[in-house]
Amino acid sequence: MSVPTDIADSQTIHLTAELPVVGILGVVTTVIDGSPVPVSGTRAQALLVALALDPGRSRSSQALIEEVWPGEPPRSPKNALQTQISRLRSALPSGAIESGPGGYRLVLSTEDIDLGRARALLRGAEGCLAQEQFQDALDLVVEALGLWRGQPIDSVRVEADAVGMALKSLRVAALLGLRRFGDALPYAQALAAEDTADERAAADLMRALHGVGRPNDALTVFAELRNDLAQRLGTDPSPATTALNAEILGHDAPKVLRTIGLRAAPNALIGRGDDIDAIEELLHTSRVTTVLGPGGAGKTRIAHALGHRAADSMPVAFVELASLRSGEDVASAIGATLGLTEADFTVGSLQVARVHSIHERLVDVFSTRRGLLILDNCEHVIDEVAAVVDALVAATDLVTVLATSRSPMGSTAESVFPLPSLGILGPNSPATELFCIRARAVRPSVRLDPDAVAALCRTLDGLPLAIELAAARVKSMSVEDIGTRLHKRFALLRSTDRTRPERHRTLHAVIDWSWNLLDGTEQATLRRLCRFPAGFDLDAARTVAEWSEVEDVSFALDGLVNQSMLTVAETSTGVRYHMLETVREYGEEQLDASGEEEQVALRMRAWSSAVSTMISAGYAGGRPAEMVLLLEAEHDNLLSIMRHSFAHDVSEHVCTLFSVLGYFWAMRGAHSEVLNWADRVQSSIRRGIAETPDDNAVMCMLVLAAHFAYGRQLRRVARVRVDLRNLLRHRTDISPGLRFNAEVLVHHIGGRGLARKLALATRSEYEDVRCNAYVVRAMLAQNSGRLHESIRDGERALAIARSRGDLWAVGSTSQTLASSYGLAGDQATAAEYYRTSADVMWTMHAYEESMQTRTFLAMALIGSGRVDEGRALVEELVSGGMAQDWSPGNSGEVADRGPAHDSGARWDRAQQQSTSASLTAARAAADVEDGHVERGLTRFREALAVGGWPSQDASDPFMTILVCAAVGAHVLHGRARDMREAVGELVRTPWNALVPRGFYDIPMLGAVACAVGSFEVQCGDSERGVRLLAASHRAVARQDFPSMRIDRHVTAARAIVGDPTVDAGIARAAGITRHAALQEILGLLPVS
């Protein structure tokens, strides 16, 4: 839309309320579902920028290739470009990229690109400035500059910088037009520093300096400009700038502006720059601004900093109200700070006559010129403060009020700024920076481990006072010691700093101050809700806190929010309330003293049971994605209640919660959490089996059995199977799907009757039973090399899962199908199923599983000949896709880990190693296929090292695949002897890794046979090598990597031992069954 130039009001002008579709002013992004999402990969970013710089104009393929791959085009440039175009289309609205005879073009308006929108806002601001509509011009400039999100990439930086500089210059001009000289000054200084010969920037700086009462500095700027122009260009300043200099010379210096009550900062204010800027913006648009936050958040420091900023352009009075005991004293306290009495008085040269009340005196003082009144610590006299402030702003429009408080005034003139805690994410966060600076100030030699400091700051909620009190303790303690003692934080965090007010010398006093401002209902609500570490919604609050004196908890929540004892956040699951950890610990003290602990614990268990039941029903009812969001929101709450239930021997409730949390952890790849709880859950099942609902008990056992089996803890699997058999015999209310899964688990995998049981289950009246039966049959058929059957049953299972809305079954079944198609040599189809699986798992927020699956997708793409596409995906994963905000293991579960912790931690480390190794191996395969053989072989060896081979536990089948791929690649390229040690370890893998599961994975053993056989042909017993190669073909060996393809190894063998020998071996193997081929392989490999 066009920007009007005849605007009479001063409201911000927006081109559109929507975000630009394409963002190139910083990280390259596109908008998906209303939120900006970074475009992954430097090639895709460069391509989008090339199209976005001139939307609507076609760019030829050659021109785009030259911009995306400058100086180093890929082997198949047009195919590579089409791949990148395809990826971009998925990140843009439908039809946004159009192809034609002239090439490709971006079918978006200029304003759909953030740079184009910035240009349009710039033009609008120039028009407003020309008509002296300074506020409108400023609003447009601020909106435009807000489009920048960082440093643009190189191909757009010059043009973006030019637009940015023009906007910054207009910002200074608009602020000067509004006579906001103090605000304009830092911007003008920055522009003048960019180019000392920029006459416009120098003139603007002179005006700003003169406006804040620094004429000498303004004259110095002119002198420096004149010298610079003479030396560089041999010219003089323009007549206009010279006239400005003369005008400043002719003015008397403005009188020094007066400040009252402002204190100089004792040290640097860390991590609050953005907050101060935001509050300053509020002060320009609102008559009254209140900075809200809990005690110790740093409100007073920020208020002083804002006062010093404002003092450049107006008088500032800072009034401390913490010491007041009565609200009646508010007006008098302000008057006393200003030095007002009931006698005649003088402010500067202004004579003020006698007035009749302190209120009238205040109005008279603030009616003479613009000024800022800062009222600090208002919460305990907030009503009286509101009355005084309302009277002031109604009587004069020259006063601006800044207040700090734990509760708002509730005035119509008021804007509030909830002050957040310091950022706590990462080792370089503002919170950790503050801790390190303060700690080194008291003990310069202190050892500061970044992870320990970050963990400490997270536990302290990023609360500046708590961080500073903790940092002061490093004088005699290590950071780790402080962290371990934080469970008694009120005794630990005390200060001997005499400059601190009494209420800030202990953390306990800070919370006490707010507690004493609450009424009885609010105090009861706070102590009853202190056991929700992840926050809570209104329903949870009603269940746990609404009884006895709390008749309507919503009113109490409003009061707690107003006193900054709770914060409110809009989340994907609705409105949630959060309590700082420090406040929760204080609440625990009050709960212990109240005698309500038992009742609260009972209500917490009732609430968590209802939530767990809702989640289980939602999973079964086709709403898994919704339930994932709910479980993410309540995860830490449920875990805390489960921990409490175990500590108080409420065994049946432990099982109820673990049946949901255990499944969630397994889905997220947080297997160590499952194992950490394994012993406790098993003992709880045995003690509370009679009271535990049937489905909950079965689900607990299934989750535990799966983890014990995968970790090869066979004795523990046997114990679970015994417990499950007893449960199946005596319980009749187990849901059909869970009963079927349990019956399969207790059935011997190679025993008689399993095939008949599965066949009957595929005809069950229950969809989930049919789906599970087909999945089990597909997996067993795949492991036996019966790929046609595996694919048939997998497709049937997938159809049922989709009809039921069972996303997790869709994801896992798609992965099984992908594996089967890959075994069959159809890597293109395998890639599509891997993509489906990865996308579904991402939707379920199973990020680690999704990333692992994407590595399989990359390898399938490489194996199908789409090497560039596969490599691009790998680079995307390596460059930043692996880090996620939600980590399933970050639940605070530290102090009470069970004896299975070590094995769980080992499993998690093994998974991380496996993921890293798979990415390195995918890169290796792409290199080899592209002809970069030496680099590829080096990366294969790196992958083995990253994966921990040969010391890695062989419980991860992918490591076996990776070793086969590495051996195969070296053999096929004449470097077989480099793999002698790896082959020696490989031949011992199948028995150790596969047999304990109760059956042989024939395709896996076939892959081992192919790798070892090909190695033997080149370096050892060629006769045995040929027999292994031939048997691997009959065993339907896995061929996940191109270097595992049997036909390539057969061709290599022919070159060494001749066609007749190879043909004879293949002919012999063709006449035997798959199981006979398996026995052949086991007989030829020295498996222990």
What's the pLDDT at 882? 43
What's the pLDDT at 267? 76
Burial of 305 (0-12, 13-18, 19+ CB in 10 A): buried
What's the pLDDT at 430? 86
For every residue of 557-603, DSSP letters joined together read HHHHHHTTSSEEEEETTEEEEE--HHHHHHHHHHHHHHT-HHHHHHH
Which of 378, 394, 418 is the last residue in one of the domains? 418
Structural domain range at position 925: 901-1084
If asked whether residues 473 and 335 sit together in one domain, one would say: no
Tell me, yes or no, whether 715 lies in a domain: no
Tell me, yes or no, whether 675 lies in a domain: no
> 427, 420, 381, 178: which is closest to 299 by C-alpha?
420
Instruction: Give start and end residues of each alpha helix (H) in 1001-1058.
Output: 1002-1019, 1022-1034, 1046-1057
Residues in Cβ contact with 885 at an 8 Å cutoff, skipping those fewer than 6 apart: none
If asked whether residues 503 and 525 sit together in one domain, one would say: no
Question: Which two three-digit tokens encode residue 825?
Answer: 């040599």
Our CA angle for 523, 524, 525, nearest 5°, is 90
> 522, 554, 552, 560: which is closest to 537 by C-alpha?
554
CB 358 within 8 A of CB 331: yes
If asked whether residues 537 and 491 sit together in one domain, one would say: no
Our CA angle for 347, 350, 354, nearest 5°, is 80
Low-confidence ranges of the chain (pLDDT < 70): 1-17, 33, 251-257, 340-357, 368, 426-427, 486-506, 710-712, 749-752, 879-912, 951-956, 989-999, 1086-1088
Which of 385, 418, 451 is the last residue in one of the domains? 418
How far apart (Å, rounded) are the C-alpha atoms in residues 220 and 692?
A: 83
If asked whether residues 166 and 50 sit together in one domain, one would say: yes
If asked whether residues 168 and 309 sit together in one domain, one would say: no
pTM score, whole prediction: 0.64
> 990, 922, 935: which is closest to 960 by C-alpha?
990
- Residue whose entry in the numeric block shows the structure tokens 């030259």: 66
If asked whether residues 168 and 287 sit together in one domain, one would say: no
Number of domains making up the chain = 6
How far apart (Å, rounded) are the C-alpha atoms in residues 431 and 427?
A: 9
CB 276 within 8 A of CB 302: yes
If asked whether residues 393 and 439 sit together in one domain, one would say: no
Q: Is 362 helix (H, G, I), strand (E, B) or coil?
A: helix
What's the pLDDT at 910? 55
Tell me, yes or no, whether 40 lies in a domain: yes
Tell me how far apart the terminal alpha carbons of the chain are, to the nearest angstrom.
76
Tell me, yes or no, whether 1042 lies in a domain: yes
Which of 846, 869, 892 is the last residue in one of the domains? 869
> 415, 404, 401: which is closest to 380 by C-alpha?
404
If asked whether residues 410 and 543 sit together in one domain, one would say: no
CB 1011 within 8 A of CB 986: yes
> 626, 620, 546, 530: which is closest to 581 by C-alpha?
530
Cα-Cα-Cα-Cα torsion 12, 18, 24, 30, nearest 10 degrees, comes to: 160
For residue 772, the domain's CATH number is: 1.25.40.10
> How many Cβ atoms sit within 10 Å of the Cβ of residue 98?
12
If asked whether residues 368 and 311 sit together in one domain, one would say: yes
Tell me, yes or no, whether 127 lies in a domain: yes
Tell me, yes or no, whether 945 lies in a domain: yes
For residue 347, the domain's CATH number is: 3.40.50.300
Q: What single-letter amino acid sits at 639?
A: L
If asked whether residues 1030 and 922 sit together in one domain, one would say: yes
Burial of 42 (0-12, 13-18, 19+ CB in 10 A): middle
What's the pLDDT at 526? 95
For residue 558, the domain's CATH number is: 1.10.10.10
If asked whether residues 467 and 346 sit together in one domain, one would say: no
Strands (E) across 387-453 are located at 399-405, 414-418
Tell me, yes or no, whether 892 lies in a domain: no
List, for residues 713-772, the tens digit of each pLDDT value: 778 888 888 888 888 888 888 899 999 998 888 887 655 678 889 999 999 999 999 999
> How many Cβ atoms sit within 10 Å of the Cβ of residue 472?
21
If asked whether residues 912 and 1040 sit together in one domain, one would say: yes
Residues in Cβ contact with 753 at an 8 Å cutoff, skipping those fewer than 6 apart: 747
CB 716 within 8 A of CB 708: yes
For residue 998, the domain's CATH number is: 1.25.40
Q: Is 845 helix (H, G, I), strand (E, B) or coil?
A: coil
What's the pLDDT at 486? 66
Question: Which two three-digit tokens encode residue 1078?
Answer: 């398996």
Tell me, yes or no, whether 828 lies in a domain: yes
What's the pLDDT at 963? 92
